Amino acid sequence: MSGKGDLAKLDVAVLTADQQEKLRQFKIKTRINNEKYLRSHPEVEVLIGDFLRDVLLKRPADIRDFAADHFINPDLHVLIGSKMEGNME
């Protein structure tokens, strides 16, 4: 059975030149689309930054429970909205 470390040993040379070029173009297009999305949704940066700040300040023992509680907060949109407004001032 293959271990997780085997993924690091994948040989890109098994791809044809055409496949390598298609993969390269796919990666470029994906990065561009991701950047466009993030630029059109600045709240994502605030949302992730707020979560990471809380994680680093509170250092929860169970990160999964902490994340669940953080993201199901019914007032999260209000909190993020107020931080977005604060960033624009």
Residue-range domain boundaries for the chain: 14-88
pTM: 0.63
* pLDDT at residue 87 in the model: 66
Q: Which residue has the tokens 């470029």?
A: 28
**Tokens representing 52?**
């990471």
Is the CB of residue 17 less than 8 Å from the CB of residue 24? Answer: no
pLDDT by residue (tens digit) across 32-87? 999 999 999 999 999 999 999 999 999 999 999 999 999 999 999 898 888 888 76
Is the CB of residue 55 less than 8 Å from the CB of residue 66? Answer: yes
* pLDDT at residue 5 in the model: 57
pLDDT tier, 1 (very low <50, low <70, confident <90, very high otherwise): very low
Is the CB of residue 47 less than 8 Å from the CB of residue 14? Answer: no
